[in-house]
Amino acid sequence: MRFYPVLLLFIALILPPASAFAQASISGVAQDSVTRQPLAFASVFLANTTLGVTTTEQGKFVFPSVPAGTYDVVGSYVGYRLAKQTVTVAAVPQQITLRLGPSANRLGEVVVRADPNRQSNYRVFVDLFLGRTSFSQQCTIKNPDEVVVDFDTPKNTLTASSANFLQVDNKALGYRIKYFGLRFSCDFTARVLQFYGEPVFEEMAARSKGQQRRWEENREKAYRGSLTHFLKSVRDDQVSANGFLAQRLRVVPNPRFARIDSLRQRLLRARGLGSEISPAEIDSLNRWRDEPRQFSMLYTAPRPIDSLCRKSDDGSQTFLRFRDFVQVTYIREAPDPLYRRSLSPLATAKSDANQVSQLLLRVPETEIKPNGHLANPLAVFADEYWGFEKMGEFLPLNYLPPAAVPGP
């Protein structure tokens, strides 16, 4: 079974291009929203980055040098709900107040029902959340008891959440991820997987220079060919130069499917009423039993850049914009050895030598920021290889890859 995951549904972090050197500080205080008393030793971080601090005894915090951009500043404290405030950093220092409200378990008793299937549901969650890549095999959830999982049988949906944070140690990339406010859901009927929250990254301490070097190599490997790498290539008009082939993939309904499905439903009703079914009708149903709902048609010509994006009149902004699906092939790296091709009706013939993904834009257009992230991360569905990659390849938004080396 394949899913069309909305990968990593986060509030966007807007970082400047590498040539921008403007920096400023973000400072403030974390308070109880009711008493206005300061919260000492609370965690404050810039969501989806490696930037995090702890408040002083007076509840104060400071990020002394933050690159220009727009950030979600998040405050976390045991027994309180997350507080979040969006801040735009330019040349002027920013001062904010984060007011955290008491969480439900402080205001009243929380009743948790017994779940005899908790262990099996948790294993399914881990498989879907961490993923099945070689890097994902090196990821471990360190506080599994923090996860509340539930399977809704009538809806065929698995959900998971964490009242505080979920800690994932990624020994392939050298990151410790504290995933605050996790909200996870997988609809097995619609084949849609999505999860979101407010994660913060911490650099793990390497045991040796060799391990640090491997982490850096793996981080670059996770970045190259990723959705972020592709979107930055679109923004910079470097799609082909960076090793990507973008092609139009058109999905059209199968006109025979509706007729076969109608016949199938009619025969089922007739069988239920005890009516006689003719051999010819049974033969027709058997002949078209595996008829697909839709067909995919891949256009071999590369998509021109102006069919993938739109530039603003002054050239300062780039908006992702395209019709139909886009099939993206990254030709400079083979798929992960653990990758298994989708049996989705949208899957097309492909070589095992390349990473092949598919992208669907759910809105007319959305801005691509200078670092390759979208202003609206919910705007796209990613499937095939990008759908295969999960937490094992998860990088902070302030990750900067080494300078690109020209490829073949």
Question: pLDDT tens digit string along 174-185?
Answer: 999 999 889 999
Q: Give residue 284's pLDDT band: very low, low, confident or very high (50, 70, 90).
A: low
What is each CA distance from 362 to 324, 376, 378, in whole angstroms? 10, 11, 8
Determine the Cα–Cα distance for residues 22 and 19; give it in Å rounded to an integer. Answer: 9
pLDDT at 365 over 80: yes
Q: Enumerate helices (H) and strands (E) in the chain, giving the number of each.
A: 7, 22
45 plus 190 within the same structural domain: no
Q: How far apart are the first and last CA of the chain?
A: 35
122 plus 202 within the same structural domain: yes
pLDDT attached to residue 307: 96
Q: Pick the more confident residue, 288 or 395.
A: 395
Residue 397 is assigned to a structural domain of this protein? no
Q: Pick the more confident residue, 63 or 407.
A: 63
Note down the domain range covering 334. 227-252+294-388
Q: Which two tokens mark 315?
A: 């050239």
Q: Give residue 294's pLDDT band: very low, low, confident or very high (50, 70, 90).
A: low
pLDDT attached to residue 293: 61
42 plus 139 within the same structural domain: no
Q: Give residue 213's pLDDT band: very low, low, confident or very high (50, 70, 90).
A: very high
pLDDT at 203 over 70: yes
Residue 404 is assigned to a structural domain of this protein? no
pTM, two decimals, is 0.76
pLDDT attached to residue 88: 82
276 plus 310 within the same structural domain: no
pLDDT attached to residue 122: 94
Q: Which two tokens mark 297?
A: 């048609």
Q: For the residues 6-20, what does the mean pLDDT come to?
A: 39
Determine the Cα–Cα distance for residues 22 and 89; give it in Å rounded to an integer. Answer: 9
Residue 124 is assigned to a structural domain of this protein? yes
Residue 400 is assigned to a structural domain of this protein? no
Q: Pick the more confident residue, 361 or 197.
A: 361
pLDDT at 112 over 80: no
Q: How many domains does the chain have?
A: 4
pLDDT attached to residue 375: 83
